[in-house]
């Protein structure tokens, strides 16, 4: 059996870590190691990780100063013995057959570098909204992450792509990594089953990330402008479609009762404004 290395970066998620690690412990594929990387977390991540080290020697604990999820993953992979890498955030979890099924896909398809699956969002004990990824090649990943962020991939992909980019600290590290792997010629395979559970928080990392969404996307577009030049027509189509949708939303709002009432209420004030301006600048 081939060895798989699972990398679990942790920062302020100790309360969920047991669930994440239990989902790995329950995997039907058993030839793996798990490297838990404490990214300078101030909570009790270390105590929980060390408990699992005692429970099962396949678990290893590493500590580093805080540097972000990409640097934590890179450190874990640098220390990994496996030929294949699995990533898992400390607050998420896998279905028990994920590694077995994903590894089977990789071993039977030389052109595939990354395997992901469908996922489902959950909060506490409630599940909702299945996420069905569609990514296969570079064109699928041009404008959004077309695969779940956690996946199983060849360590060779990580090595040849140069690891995770540690510069953007505000998310999209998986999307940017997948773009580089696809640029090298590998494909992404999506298992059409719900094998991943993505925990939702009242305020999640992705929610906060929306504040710097434009800046991070621009970083990715500029870093990979060679790809976007090659797909210039798709870029223009995307821009025009987004522009049309924005106009439709604006026009749709103009016909709402709220807009009409607001416009009617403001009309006298606008007339007064122009009257006063004329008086001032007469």
Q: What is the pLDDT of residues 18-56, one digit of tens each?
A: 999 999 999 999 999 999 999 999 999 999 999 999 999
User: 35: which 2 tokens?
Assistant: 């490297």
Number of residues that make up the chain:
282
Predicted pLDDT at 35: 98
Is pLDDT above 60 for 92? yes
Rounded to an integer, the average pLDDT of 81-91 is 97
Domain locations along the chain: 4-204, 234-280
CB atoms within 10 A of CB 105: 16
User: With bands split at pLDDT 50, 70 and 90, how would you rate the model's confidence at 203?
Assistant: low
Residue that wins the pLDDT comparison between 234 and 121:
121
DSSP characters over 236-262:
HHHHHHHHHHHHHHHHHHHTSHHHHHH
Percent of the chain scoring above 70 in pLDDT: 82
User: With bands split at pLDDT 50, 70 and 90, how would you rate the model's confidence at 279?
Assistant: low
Is pLDDT above 70 for 110? yes
Predicted pLDDT at 13: 95
Beta strands in 49-201, from DSSP E residues, in sequence order? 59-64, 84-87, 93-94, 112-123, 126-131, 152-154, 187-199
Q: Which listed CATH number (3.30.230.70, 3.90.550.10, 3.40.50.1000, 3.40.50.2300) goes with 4-204?
A: 3.90.550.10
Predicted pLDDT at 217: 87
Predicted pLDDT at 112: 98
H or E element that contains 77? helix 69-78
Predicted pLDDT at 125: 77
Distance CA 217, CA 225 (A): 12
Predicted pLDDT at 265: 64
Coil, strand or helix at 86:
strand
Predicted pLDDT at 254: 58
Most trustworthy range by pLDDT among 102-116, 123-137, 140-154, 218-232:
102-116
Nearest-CA neighbor of 27 among 6, 45, 8, 13?
A: 6
Predicted pLDDT at 127: 84
Mean pLDDT (the chain, rounded): 88
> pLDDT of 207-231, one tens digit each?
444 556 788 888 998 999 999 988 8
Nearest-CA neighbor of 41 among 93, 104, 89?
A: 89
Rounded to an integer, the average pLDDT of 163-179 is 89
Predicted pLDDT at 11: 96
């Amino acid at each position: 059996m081939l060895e798989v290395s699972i990398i679990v970066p942790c920062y302020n998620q100790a309360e969920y870590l047991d669930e994440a690690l239990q989902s790995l412990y329950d995997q039907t594929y058993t030839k793996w190691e798990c490297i838990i990387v404490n990214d300078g977390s101030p909570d009790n991540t270390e105590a929980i990780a060390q408990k699992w080290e005692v429970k099962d020697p396949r678990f290893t604990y590493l500590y580093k100063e805080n540097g972000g999820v990409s640097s934590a993953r890179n450190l874990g992979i640098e220390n990994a013995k496996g030929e294949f890498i699995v990533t898992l955030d400390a607050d998420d979890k896998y279905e028990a057959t994920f590694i077995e099924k994903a590894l089977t896909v990789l071993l039977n398809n030389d052109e595939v570098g990354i395997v992901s699956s469908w996922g489902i969002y959950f909060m506490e004990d409630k599940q909702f909204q299945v996420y069905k990824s569609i990514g296969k090649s570079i064109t699928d990943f041009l404008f959004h992450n077309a695969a779940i962020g956690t996946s199983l991939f060849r360590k060779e992909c990580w090595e040849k792509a140069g690891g995770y980019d540690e510069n953007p600290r505000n998310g999209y590290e998986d999307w940017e990594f997948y773009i580089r792997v696809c640029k090298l010629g590998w494909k992404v395979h999506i298992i059409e089953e719900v094998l991943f559970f993505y925990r939702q928080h009242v305020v999640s990392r992705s929610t906060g990330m929306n504040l710097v969404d434009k800046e991070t996307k621009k970083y990715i577009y500029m870093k990979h402008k060679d790809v976007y030049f090659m797909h210039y027509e798709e870029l223009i189509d995307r821009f025009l479609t987004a522009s049309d949708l924005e106009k439709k939303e604006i026009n749709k709002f103009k016909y709402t009762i709220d807009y009409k009432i607001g416009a009617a209420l403001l009309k006298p004030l606008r007339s007064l404004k122009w009257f006063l301006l004329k008086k001032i600048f007469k």
